[in-house]
A and B are shown apart, each in its own frame.
Chain A
Amino acid sequence: MRPFVSAAVCLLFSLPGVPQTAVVNSASTASLPSVKLTASRGPREIEDLTRQKVLLDYAAAWKTLAAGLEQNRVDLLNDYFTGFAKDEFTRTIKEQAGTGIHRHYVDHGHKLEALFYSPDGGVMQLQDNVEYEEQIFDGAKLLHSKTITARYLVLMTPAADRWMVRLLQDVPAS
């Protein structure tokens, strides 16, 4: 058990690293929200390909979420949401459909920061500083419209060919 003693004592914490930034800006992604990613700390460096994939998939997740909440279509969540996030938004969309409510989002862009990337590559935690305009409708009646600046904590996990949003929780701005 000596190795475990030493291992347990030598718990490794995330260390600050060199910030790196990547941006989704290619022509093929023109329809996606603008997303920038800064990776500054964590037990594992984010590889360039992973960084690009996370950017694309996170942008696509927001696009499908916005479309799902606007059209009240649960099926749109299937591609980029899983776990608690999918359960939560599925419930929301079903309740929206049941009450005749829908929401329209105009996405003004995301600034992502990678907070944690697990050593085995199995989970990534991101912080998203996002700005969007939200309009809430009851049928055709506009109930509320506001530009919102929010901070989200995001958990993403890799699936067969993409990163899926597993948890998306807004938190008060720090």
Chain B
Amino acid sequence: MRVAGGILLMCSVFRVLSQAETPPGLRLPANVVAGEAVTVPSNATGSATFYLAGPGHVAKRNVQAGQNIQLSSADLSIAGTYQAIICYGDECSITNFYVAPDRGKELVFLVHPSRIAVGQANAISAVTVALDRFHNLAVQPEAVTFRATTKENGVSSPPQMTRNGIAWTRLNSGMKDGTVEISVSLGQTSERRVVQQVASEPCHLHVSAEQKGNQVVLQTEPVRDCRGNAVPDGTIVTFTKTDKLGRSTVDAPIKKGVARTEMAFGGSATISVACGVVVGNDIRMGGPR
């Protein structure tokens, strides 16, 4: 009996000590959504200090007996695990609680590239990240819709669910040059980006030559790709002349659809033209054909 009494006494002392070390914790709602204001009964019997330590917010307040602790929308705007700590003197009690992200309200939209040649398969990457109104990642699946719009037409993808806040797609570039607007929408929210579609490699590159004294004027026909899209101004066309003195080269940018240059002419010469990986026709001047 003495042993049992001793154990009981020890247990009682231990219980009292444990209670002294850990004051009553705070009672917080099990489910808090980012931006929700919460009122926490403090249970404070005297003066206490309340600490809130979260992923994006830290606060320290004095609490008086009977006073509730108000956690505002701003206090709980960042999703994640928070520690609510209440200290009576040197004795502190902690309560962890989780603030979940709200539903998706904003979209981050990444489209790459911003400039693309026509007729490229799966060449445009569109990635969207769904965020709530406080820029937390909206981890609950949300239905987003991608849309591609040109001057002539527009087409939408079927709704696609985000996974861990992310949805993505790949698109082919169109067959006609010009801008295409890629957009993504989530409910009433949408984001859009513009991709410039340009002609692909030139097709049937053709140069003509006209001798003017000791100069030869070289000019291409309008440079277009195989789908008839004009190759953008500024694209470099290389003219090469080979004669008895050797080989000389001029790089000329396309202006208003054509490339033009003048080269010295001193007798028999072969002239060729190239643009990118495409080689055009050869011209032989001043010699036997």
Of the candidate stretches B156-164, B218-226, B271-279, the one touching chain A is B156-164
Contact A88 B55 (CB under 8 A): yes
- Decide: A1 and B137 in contact? CB cutoff 8 A: no
Residues on B with beta carbons closer than 8 Å to the beta carbon of A125: 164-166
Give the number of residue pairs across the A-B interface with Cβ within 8 Å.
161
A-B contacts, 15 of them at CB < 8 A, read A7-B124, A7-B148, A43-B168, A88-B78, A95-B57, A96-B58, A100-B60, A103-B53, A116-B163, A118-B112, A119-B125, A120-B125, A120-B127, A122-B127, A136-B53
A118-B87 Cα distance, complex, nearest whole Å:
47
B interface residue numbers (CB < 8 A to A): 49, 51, 53-60, 78-81, 83, 85, 87, 90, 92, 94, 98, 101, 110, 112-113, 119, 122, 124-125, 127, 129, 131, 135-137, 139, 146-148, 150, 152-158, 160, 163-166, 168-175, 180
The answer, yes or no, to whether A138 is at the interface (CB within 8 Å) is: yes
List residues of chain A with CB within 8 A of the CB of B51: 101, 136, 138, 143
Which residues on A sit within 8 Å (CB–CB) of B49?
138
> What are the interface flags for A1-30 relative to B under an 8 Å C-beta threshold, 1 for contact and 0 otherwise?
111111111011010000000000000000
Q: A13 to nearest B CB, angstroms?
A: 8
Identify which of A51-59, A74-82, A163-171 touches chain B: A163-171
B residues in contact with A148, CB < 8 Å? 81
Query: What residues of chain B lie closer than 8 Å to A43, measured between beta carbons?
Result: 168, 170
Known: A9-B158, A14-B168. 7 other contacts (CB 8 A): A8-B146, A99-B60, A101-B60, A116-B166, A118-B110, A150-B81, A155-B137
Q: Which of A89-114 contact B (CB under 8 A)?
A: 89, 91-92, 95-96, 99-101, 103
Query: When A and B form their complex, which 10 residue pairs have the shortest distance between CB atoms, in order from nearest?
Result: A120-B112, A1-B153, A88-B56, A3-B172, A7-B171, A119-B125, A99-B60, A95-B58, A7-B172, A8-B157
Chain B residues touching A, majority SS = strand
Checking B92, B169, B180 against A11 with a beta-carbon cut-off of 8 angstroms, the contacting residue is B169
A interface majority secondary structure: mixed
Given contacts A116-B168, A153-B165, is CB(A171)–CB(B139) below 8 Å? yes
Q: Which residues 113-172 of A sit at the B interface, judged by CB distance below 8 A?
A: 115-116, 118-120, 122-123, 125, 127, 136, 138, 141, 143-144, 146, 148, 150, 153, 155, 167-172
| A: contact size bracket | 35 or more
Of all chain A residues, the one with the shortest Cβ separation from B175 is A3
- Within 8 Å by CB of A143, from B57, B85, B137, B155, lies B85
Task: Report which of A8, A84, A103, A155 forms a contact with B148, defined as CB distance below 8 A.
Answer: A8
In angstroms, how far is the closest chain A Cβ from the Cβ of B74? 10
User: Which chain A residues border B148 with CB–CB below 8 Å?
Assistant: 1, 4, 7-8
With most chain A CB atoms within 10 A of its CB, the pick from B124, B152, B156, B166 is B166
Report the minimal beta-carbon distance from B57 to chain A, rounded to whole angstroms.
6
Find the residue from A1, A99, A115, A136 having the highest chain B CB count within 10 A: A1
Q: Is the CB of A122 within 8 A of B112?
A: yes
B83-A84 in contact (CB<8A) = no
Q: Hey, which chain A residues are within 8 Å of B166, CB to CB?
A: 115-116, 125
Q: Is the CB of A7 within 8 A of B170?
A: yes
With CB as the reference atom, state the residue of chain B lying closest to A95. B58
In the complex, the answer to whether B56 meets A91 with C-beta atoms within 8 Å is yes
In the docked arrangement, what's the CA distance between A170 and B79, Å?
7
Q: Is the CB of B79 within 8 A of A7?
A: no
Beta-carbon contact of B169 and A12 below 8 Å: yes
Q: Are B92 and A99 in contact (CB under 8 A)?
A: no
- Distance to closest chain A CB from B286 (angstroms): 48
| Given A91-B57, A120-B113, A169-B79, A8:B92 Cβ within 8 A | no
Please give, as numbers and ranges, the residues of chain B lying within 8 Å of A116 by CB-CB distance.
163-164, 166, 168
